[in-house]
């Protein structure tokens, strides 16, 4: 797939590209390799953080685009800029730690902005064009867009984000590292995507027969509904939510409320179970389901 403009840099997410520095330094077609965390308090995990590279020629990007839906496309994004590698690094360092509306005063979060999944959702949260304050010296930023693993496969596409006219920037005086509204919501969307992907891969490996009963085109709605139900019930950790998902897959979406459903049958075995906290109930119900009497 072709790329518009002239790609000058590639941003690599080290966590998505194992042994990133070893693999990048071994190449002879990269002019600059800049692990951004080296300039932060996260320097000890610099290899797992964002790494800005400048290829010597177009061959690196051409190979990246030709890879289709491979490892590199899910670990790298393509930047066009007239700025130096140092200037780009200085700009991107603003996004290493962010403040999110609703968090405790002074609290910060690590933004994995080099992860293409995060990059795409983050830039898309601004609308048709990205504010100049966010893009800085970046003219275009191209990010791979792939289908979620729980949906029907489709060819990977590259989505291009362009800078908005500075006169129409919606940020005003708000620092770019302060996330509210659509940007704060984006963080939740990414977290849900990542969780749904982990659950789907688990079902593919360990509950294939039950998972295949749900058509691929309906799985996103199913996962989203179960997530909302679990959160409303009180499953506040990802471990509890994973248990909720598996119980719903095997016991039905209404396993908590159905007459003679999974939860009602479990309660009937010992009335003292009603005194447990909801978190304890979920763990105990899961253990009971896996025991012979719960099947």
pLDDT in tens, 141-152: 999 999 999 999
Three-class DSSP category at 68: coil
pLDDT value at residue 168: 54
The DSSP bridge partners found for residue 274 are none
Distances (CA, A) of 205 to 27, 227, 250: 36, 20, 15
Reported pTM: 0.90
Per-domain residue ranges for the chain? 9-179, 207-294
What is d(CA 47, CA 13) in angstroms, rounded to the nearest whole number?
9
Query: At 179, is the secondary structure helix, strand, or coil?
Result: strand
pLDDT of res. 175: 87
Sheet with 97-100: strands ordered across:
109-110, 97-100, 178-179
pLDDT given for residue 294 in this prediction: 56
- pLDDT value at position 3? 45
Distance from chain centroid for Cα 147: 13
List pLDDT tens digits, range 199-249. 999 999 999 999 999 999 999 999 999 999 999 999 999 999 999 999 999
Residue 67's pLDDT is what? 84
Cα–Cα distance between 236 and 71 in angstroms, integer? 32
Q: Which residues of the chain have pLDDT under 70?
A: 1-5, 166-173, 293-295
162 half-sphere exposure, CB direction, 13 A CA radius: 5
């Amino acid at each position: 797939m072709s790329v518009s403009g002239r790609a000058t840099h590639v941003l690599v997410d080290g966590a998505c590209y194992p042994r990133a520095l070893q693999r990048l330094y071994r190449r002879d077609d990269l002019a600059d390799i800049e692990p951004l965390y080296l300039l932060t308090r996260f320097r000890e995990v610099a290899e797992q953080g964002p790494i800005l590279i400048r290829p010597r020629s177009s061959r690196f990007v051409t190979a990246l685009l030709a890879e289709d839906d491979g490892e590199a496309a899910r670990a790298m994004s393509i930047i066009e800029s007239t700025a130096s590698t140092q200037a780009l690094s200085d700009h991107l360092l603003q996004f290493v730690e962010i403040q999110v509306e609703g968090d405790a005063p002074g609290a910060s979060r690590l933004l994995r902005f080099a992860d293409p999944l995060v990059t795409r959702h983050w830039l898309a949260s601004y609308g048709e064009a990205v504010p100049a304050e966010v893009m800085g010296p970046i003219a275009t930023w191209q990010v791979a867009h792939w289908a979620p693993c729980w949906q029907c496969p489709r060819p990977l596409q590259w989505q291009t984000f362009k800078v908005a006219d500075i006169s129409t920037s919606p940020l005003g005086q708000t620092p770019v590292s302060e996330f509210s509204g659509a940007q704060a919501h984006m963080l939740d969307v990414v977290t849900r995507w990542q969780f749904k992907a982990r659950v789907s891969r688990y079902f593919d490996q360990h509950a294939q027969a039950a998972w295949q009963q749900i058509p691929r085109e309906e799985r996103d709605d199913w996962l989203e509904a179960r997530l909302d139900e679990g959160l409303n019930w009180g499953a506040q950790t990802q471990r509890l939510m994973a248990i909720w998902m598996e119980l719903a897959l095997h016991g039905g979406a209404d396993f908590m409320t159905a007459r003679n459903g999974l939860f009602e049958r479990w309660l009937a075995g010992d009335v003292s179970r009603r005194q447990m906290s909801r978190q304890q109930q979920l763990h105990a119900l899961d253990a009971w389901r896996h025991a012979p009497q719960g099947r």
